[in-house]
Amino acid sequence: MLLIKEVAVYINILNSKIKKYFGDELNKNTINMTPEQYLVMDILWDEGTLSQQAIADIIQKDKNSVTKFIDSLERKGFVFRAVDKEDRRINNIVLSKDGIMLKDTTTEVAINMMNQVVKNIDDNELAVFVKVLQQMKHNIENAI
């Protein structure tokens, strides 16, 4: 039982520390976004234009939270909303030129940050860790 509690505590602590560390690194590199906003941008950089609902589904956040992230990114000039041509009820989120230009610098900061997080952990250990996390995610999804 104690080991299970430790797993929950360490997952929570690690999540908080990574968010804080990444936020600090973004600020240090004068990148004007939060770690949560980075998730939205990273998906758009990889996938291109997406609906707000698709973004919410991918990052596993409720639609209201995603709306706040997008509102902020839009105010910063990184994205804009475009009404879907086939269904006017759908807002598509599109990267602006400024948003596209942020990709390389921001991705480099994210990679450097994660390299620091996994420093001194060999690839085999990381592979096992990822597999365990995937199994835990699967267990939660089946329990809901």
The whole-number pLDDT of residue 50 equals 96
What span, in angstroms and rounded, lies between the C-alpha atoms of 85 and 62? 24
The whole-number pLDDT of residue 15 equals 95
- Under the banding of pLDDT at 50, 70 and 90, the label for residue 108 is very high
Rounded (to 5) percent helix, strand, coil in the chain? 70, 10, 20
Domain 2-117 carries which CATH code? 1.10.10.10
pLDDT over 80 (residue 2): no
DSSP 8-class letter at 122: -
Q: Which residue type is seen at 66?
A: V
- Under the banding of pLDDT at 50, 70 and 90, the label for residue 144 is confident
What span, in angstroms and rounded, lies between the C-alpha atoms of 42 and 37? 9
| Enclosing H/E stretch for 91 | strand 91-95
Give the start-to-end residue ranges of the domains of the chain: 2-117
